[in-house]
Structures are given as structure tokens and as C-alpha cells.
């Protein structure tokens, strides 16, 4: 895909294999995507590393909900980063905010130091931040490699003005990676309008599987569709 990297968020080995086969260059390994993604199990990380030759980034998030964590949850995050390193992940993905929706600089600094030499992504905890350009500067100063964002809107297309502004203001000091609602129909517009080099696409390249026989549990899951990934990759290549 020339110089464009495509990251796929997923929560199963089946999906990881499909993402790789479809041409993705990186996966964001999570558990429970229905909650926005939390830290996957040690077994999941180990097996994903075994079956993948592309980059493997691991979500470090102790629970769903907001991004302001207790001291115990922070300790869990630190231990999970150590585990991700032990299983040879290429990167980790996390974000911590204060109660006023600012970047928690001290705690984030501690996690970044612990993660070295892995690549670090500040995930969509960025999107609730009160002052996005100030938050970006703080994240840059912390030595983080990329920010995952939908431009503080529901989708990247809606958030395109802010994404463009962040890319311009970053002056290539950090990677801005658009997320949410990116598909084969709009990816060219997003690339052309922003000039970004990395994309994050999940729901649009996955199938939602319902399990009505589970009754009370209303079970459903998303599984990455290799064909949909390949279609997105081929669209990107046509730039």
C-alpha cells in the first residue's frame, strides 16, 4: 500500500488471521470490542504473536467506560504492559485522562517509560480531551508515536476538519491516525484531505454474527472479513 499503513482492531485469533490475509499491516489486539476494547488475555497475545507476521499492538485498558483510572487499575495496566513485552508485541495502545478530561501526564509518562522500546499509541481517550491541540502537544512531549482519533466526532469523516488541523499542527512530530467509519467509499477522501499515512478501520471490515440461540445473553460478535479488508487495501492502493 505504498506508504499507507492499515491497522485493524480485533478480538479473536480468527479475525487476526483474516486481517493479515486481507493485507492489513498491523492489528490492534483487544478483548470485548463491544465495550470499545479492553486488554486481551495472555493466551490471546501469545497465540496472536505465533500466527502473525505483521505488527501486533496490544490494547492496555483494564475496563470499559471512562479513561480515569483508580490506583489499582493503573497497577493492572503496568502489569499488562510488562506481559505484552514478554509476549513480543510490537506496540501497546493506551490512554489515561484526569477527571477534567485532560491528559494524565504523570501516569502516562510512567507507562511510556515502562513500555520502551515498544511503539506507543495514545488511543481514542484523546477524543474527550477538552483542548485537543494542547493535548496533542503534551502527548508529543511524552514521546508517544501516534494518536488514534476520530476528530472528536462519531466518525472520521465528521471529524475531518480537526484531523486535518492536528496533522498540520503536528508538523510530522507525531502520527495522527484517523479512526471510526473508515471504509472503501470514503478512504480516498480521508487520505487526500488529511495526508495521513496510517488508518484504523474496524467495523467496516467486519461481519456482525448474531447468536439468537443464546437467549438471555443476546450474544453477538464481530469477525473480520478478509474480503472486506482486501477491498479496502485495494482501494488505498489505487491512490
69 has a pLDDT exceeding 80: yes
Count of domains observed in the chain: 1
Tell me the CATH number at 64.
Answer: 3.20.20.380
Query: Mean pLDDT of all residues in the chain?
Result: 95
The tens digit of pLDDT for each residue in 114-170 reads: 999 999 999 999 999 999 999 999 999 999 999 999 999 999 999 999 999 999 999
What is the percent of the chain with per-residue pLDDT over 70, rounded to a whole number?
A: 96
What's the rounded mean pLDDT across residues 86-111? 97
The tens digit of pLDDT for each residue in 186-198 reads: 999 999 999 999 9
- pLDDT of the residue at 161: 97
The model's confidence at residue 17, banded by pLDDT at 50, 70 and 90, is very high
3 has a pLDDT exceeding 60: yes
Are 206 and 228 in contact by the 8 Å Cβ rule? The answer is: yes
Domain of residue 79, residue span = 5-237
1 has a pLDDT exceeding 70: no
The model's confidence at residue 221, banded by pLDDT at 50, 70 and 90, is confident
The tens digit of pLDDT for each residue in 169-218 reads: 999 999 999 999 999 999 999 999 999 999 999 999 999 988 776 666 66
Amino acid at each position: 500500500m505504498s506508504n499507507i499503513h492499515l491497522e485493524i482492531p480485533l478480538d479473536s485469533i480468527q479475525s487476526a488471521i483474516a486481517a493479515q490475509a486481507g493485507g492489513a499491516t498491523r492489528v490492534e489486539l483487544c478483548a470485548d470490542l463491544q465495550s470499545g476494547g479492553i486488554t486481551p488475555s495472555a493466551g490471546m497475545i501469545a497465540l496472536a504473536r505465533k500466527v502473525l507476521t505483521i505488527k501486533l499492538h496490544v490494547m492496555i485498558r483494564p475496563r470499559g467506560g471512562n479513561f480515569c483510572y483508580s490506583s489499582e487499575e493503573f497497577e493492572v495496566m503496568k502489569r499488562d504492559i510488562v506481559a505484552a513485552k514478554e509476549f513480543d508485541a510490537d506496540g501497546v495502545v493506551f490512554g489515561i485522562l484526569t477527571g477534567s478530561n485532560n491528559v494524565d501526564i504523570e501516569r502516562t509518562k510512567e507507562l511510556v517509560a515502562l513500555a520502551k522500546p515498544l511503539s506507543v499509541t495514545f488511543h481514542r481517550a484523546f477524543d474527550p480531551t477538552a483542548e485537543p491541540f494542547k493535548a496533542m502537544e503534551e502527548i508529543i512531549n511524552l514521546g508517544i508515536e501516534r494518536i488514534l482519533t476520530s476528530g472528536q466526532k462519531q466518525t472520521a469523516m465528521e471529524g475531518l476538519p480537526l484531523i486535518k488541523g492536528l496533522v498540520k499542527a503536528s508538523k510530522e512530530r507525531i502520527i495522527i491516525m484517523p479512526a471510526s467509519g473508515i471504509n472503501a467509499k470514503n478512504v480516498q477522501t480521508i487520505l487526500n484531505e488529511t495526508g495521513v499515512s496510517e488508518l484504523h478501520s474496524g467495523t467496516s471490515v467486519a461481519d456482525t454474527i448474531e447468536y439468537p440461540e443464546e437467549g438471555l445473553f443476546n450474544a453477538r460478535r464481530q469477525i473480520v472479513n478478509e474480503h472486506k479488508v482486501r477491498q479496502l487495501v485495494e482501494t488505498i492502493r489505487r491512490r
